[in-house]
Chains A and B, each alone.
Chain A
Amino acid sequence: MNITESVKEALTHIEERGLQGDVYGVRKRTITYTIQKGELFDSSEFEDLGLGIRVVKNGRIGFGYCVPGAEEKGVSRAVELSRVSQLVDIPLPTAEMVPPVKVCDQKIVDEADGKGAELIQMLIDGAHSVKDDIVLPFGILSIITGKRVIGNTSGVFLEEESTALFSGVAAVISGERTSLYAEKIKCSRQFDIDFYQLGAEAAQKVDSMREKSAVVPGLPVIVCPDALAQLIGFAVIPSFLGENVRKGKSLYHEKVGHPVASDRLVITDDPTREWGLGSGKFDDEGCSSGETALIAGGILKNFLYDLKEGVKSGTESTGNGVRADFKTPPETESRNIVVRGQGHKRDSFFEGDAIYVDGVMGAHTANPVSGDFSVVANPAWLIQRGEKKGRLDGVMISGNFPELLKEIELADDYTKTFFDLNKFKADIPTARLKNVVVSG
């Protein structure tokens, strides 16, 4: 039985019991090739299939999961758990026109599978093209194709095919006491990654770490898109989640309409953006996707809600019901964060003196409530009079990220990035930050 038929089968079992509910089905095929010590190491393949079933009985929600073929058992399990659940009346979305969003590249479906070994060899060749003493301890290429299906007893039945390529490689220059290490990662929904270039960029990055510099205090800190995504994702985005706002665990509680950031800053959650890593035409509860403004012109505009939190907060879902997998019920999460600002040319940030941070370690230890963070900047370089000097070892950067947003300056090099394929995805540029505490 395919996943579409399985979702329909489970919905029939819910309706036969005279209940309301929804069924989320997922089929996800992942083929992964890995590199170890500069050569193809192995490959693996897995096709995941499963259903998450949510039923509403006497105003109580029950959730169970199962694999295709066990729909009746899955529905029974959800009904059984509804007995002990909290009383929440979720308004299931009704059928409506849902415009398509570009998230499926047929070229990945048709061509990528057969080319995996060839693509990963391009990655290796690119990295090896830089310097002979650079080794590649590991690397990865994952080819992901899948389908989401959501159906409910109010008439919603939506399906969406999607694709993604995920690739990365680590490059090392071995040393006596410590080795130099850099990695480069890229993810795209399209078959548009230049694998040779990606490998070469990883090797060039570690190659540029050979010289060492010392920290100069008081300099502005330039943060690359990947690092900025991590800092915003862990230190700021939790304050936009409806539940945190309702419970007073958000810095932005009761600040809608007030200035909270630089007057040029715009943060939206936009899952309708073409080829966005978190894009899709509907959320995992069957709500149509739309753009939600969080901050516009520095003014706080809105928060994010799923169906259940919308009810609890006295508002409506913003289409932010997200499931980590079919085994977990939806929770409010951001889907495809877009951060825009002044749109400076990236090169202009590098004209004076600065610290350039190309990655951070430990962003997940940021305080999600206060926004305080203290992370290792790694790798990082000293920039002097527009020139990239030596790497900076053991440097920590600290501050309060919501405060830093008040003086943030943003470039125009929008990059599709993520730090957890199941959680946070963003379209984000390079930033220049002032008043960051630098130690080490």
Chain B
Amino acid sequence: MDTEKIITNLGENAHYCDIRTEHWERTAITLKDGLLEKVTHGEEEGAMVRVLYENGWGYTGTSNLENLNQAAQRALSMAKSNNKFKKEKTGLSDIEIYQEEVKIPMKEDITDVGPEEKIAFLEEINEILSKNFVTSIELRYEDSLVKKEILSSEGTHIRMEIPRVLVYLIITGKSDAIQRAREGIGGTKGYELTKEAYKRTGVVLERLEALLRAKTPPSGVMPLIMDSHLTGVFVHEAFGHAAEGDTVTSGSSCLEGKLGEKVATDTVTIKDDPTLDGYGSFPFDDEGTKARPRILVRNGVLNNYILDRESAYKLGLESNGGARAEDFRVKPLVRMSNTIMEPGAMTFEELLEGMDKGVYAQSSSGGEVSPAQGTFQFNAQVAYLIENGEITTPLRDVSFSGFTLDTLQNITGVTKDFYMGMGHCGKGQRAQVSDGGPHVLVSKVTVGGRA
């Protein structure tokens, strides 16, 4: 039975339904210390059926498209059963209905480049990173091409082809302790992205060199300058998750009920924009809503949330295309895309002026956030002590934490430079994202060091 017929039949018995069919082709290569560790390639396909019956949702996925009709009937049955338990009214905000086919262009098609060439690229990077202070090099290349079709009972019919390429550079060195630096380069584009990886080799080498000279950090409350990458991680982790519509409507966001309120200093403007050239870009979300920029904070005032159709309905707002699913195995959740803080007017030197003691932290090696409490913890890859307005000793294993809303109110300097990095966001599902911004001065945060 074809997908359109299933949608028609289901639509007669449910209030809403959609089917998202996906075909994935992926390659992954790992080179360790110049030797090929892993090369994999495969294809898979499947579909997720989503049914709303009155106030009950049911989702059923299958990796066997011949079973799609059975999956659809099972999803309907689950939706009807769940409806019996639901007291809260459920609905979907209206969206413009599209029938469109979109292919993200690739200057160099990833499917035209063979594994030999991809391995040769990693070998060249390996050569560049082979310095006398580098004891180990791990390089990872991943690409994927997803062909996606979304059909809904409202008439949505989207076909998309989205390519993504990712390169990770991880290098290790040894002084009194073993240290590791890494850099990720990712984009929603073709094999041409690999050229950008060459440009980032200097950054990761510089970072490791600093780590090998680094001392353990002080602990306590002090001023912090975040570099562009770390600013991106801050706006993504500490702020962005709290701005996700499903977090807000479930009652677990520190931003709930604060639309229109001042949540940051005037210099802060934060947006999430899937139309930027980033790793988290897409033309339509996984409900068929056209992608658009979302200004979340404008000059310090909370302006919007990231919304899918259901969270928008509950908040009386309009969906802004925030629904993303990792693949056909899972339902869409509200997710970020490319999240950035807009640049300001200051120079980096101006941030340093008058600072007796502080920390300048670069890039991130991870973090965690509790959107309900509005607390966060991040780790910088490398940091430097700031003493009397000068950058001095390199520091390693620097963590810092704070309350998101306090920290946003403590941003006292935003520079005019800008860089956007890439990452993967975990919320039960993995999503490709970018984040970035300028250098930012926070007047006080808690630094957790060993000294």
Contact = CB atoms under 8 A, between A and B. Distances in A.
Given A44-B330, A117-B85, 8 more contacts: A39-B87, A40-B86, A42-B57, A48-B63, A361-B369, A362-B368, A397-B448, A440-B401
A172 B251 contact: yes
A81 B63 contact: no
A50 interface: yes
Contacts of A81: 39-41, 115
B378 A362 contact: yes
Nearest to B221: A440
B59 interface: yes
Contact of A67 (B44, B85, B375): B44
Contacts of B35: 86
Nearest to B402: A394
B449 A67 contact: no
Interface string B43-63: 111001000000011111111
B63 A378 contact: no
Interface of A: 36-37, 39-50, 62-67, 70, 74, 77, 80-81, 84-86, 117, 121, 135, 137-138, 170, 172, 174, 177-181, 247-249, 327-329, 361-362, 364-365, 367-370, 372-376, 378, 393-394, 396-400, 437, 439-440
B268 interface: no
Interface in B60-105: 60-64, 74-75, 78, 81-82, 85-88
Given A44-B331, A50-B44, A137 B36 contact: no
A248 B174 contact: yes
Interface string B312-334: 00000000000000000111000
Contact of B448 (A66, A74, A172, A374): A374
Nearest to A376: B377
Interface stretch (B12-20, B159-167, B175-183): B175-183
Interface string B383-417: 00000000000001111011101000000000000
A138 B446 CA distance: 29
A137 B377 CA distance: 22
B63 A47 contact: yes
B116 interface: yes
A372 B450 contact: yes
A117 B450 contact: no
Contacts of A399: 450
Contacts of A80: 41
A211 to B, nearest CB: 16
A283 B104 CA distance: 41
B220 interface: yes
A374 B399 contact: yes
A43 B450 contact: no
A414 B87 CA distance: 40
Interface of B: 26, 28, 33, 35-45, 48, 56-64, 74-75, 78, 81-82, 85-88, 115-116, 119, 135-136, 172, 174, 177-180, 216, 219-221, 246-247, 249-252, 254, 329-331, 365-370, 372-379, 396-399, 401-403, 405, 446-450
Interface of B is mostly: strand
Contacts of B85: 39-40, 117, 121
Contact of B115 (A84, A178, A181): A84
A170 B252 contact: yes
A176 B370 CA distance: 16
B35 to A, nearest CB: 5
A264 B105 CA distance: 61
A46 B397 contact: no
A365 B37 contact: no
A249 B179 CA distance: 9
25 contacts: A41-B86, A42-B59, A44-B59, A44-B331, A46-B48, A66-B42, A117-B81, A138-B252, A174-B251, A177-B405, A180-B373, A181-B372, A327-B44, A361-B368, A362-B368, A365-B365, A367-B180, A367-B397, A369-B178, A376-B375, A394-B401, A394-B446, A397-B448, A398-B449, A400-B450
Contacts of B219: 396, 398, 437, 439
Nearest to B118: A84
A45 B375 contact: no
Contacts of B247: 137
Given A46-B61, A66-B44, A37 B251 contact: yes
Centre residue among B119, B180, B377 by max chain A CB count within 10 A:
B377
Nearest 7 A-B pairs (CB), nearest first? A396-B448, A365-B379, A374-B399, A137-B252, A44-B59, A42-B57, A65-B42
A63 B38 CA distance: 8
B448 A440 contact: yes
Nearest to B220: A439
A45 B82 CA distance: 13
Nearest to B448: A396
B42 A77 contact: yes
B373 A46 contact: no
A250 to B, nearest CB: 9
B211 to A, nearest CB: 10
B49 to A, nearest CB: 10
Contacts of B254: 178-179
Q: Which of A135, A376, A378, A439 has the most CB of B within 10 A?
A: A376
A154 B142 CA distance: 32
A439 B448 contact: yes
Nearest to A179: B372
Nearest to A121: B85
B366 A42 contact: no
Nearest to A135: B251
Contacts of A70: 43
Contacts of B376: 361
A37 B399 contact: no
Q: Which of B64, B251, B329 has the most CB of A within 10 A?
A: B251
A45 B75 CA distance: 8
Nearest to A41: B57
Nearest to A51: B42
A22 to B, nearest CB: 15
B279 to A, nearest CB: 20
B60 A44 contact: yes
Contacts of B45: 67
Contacts of B64: 49, 67
Contacts of B44: 50, 65-67, 327
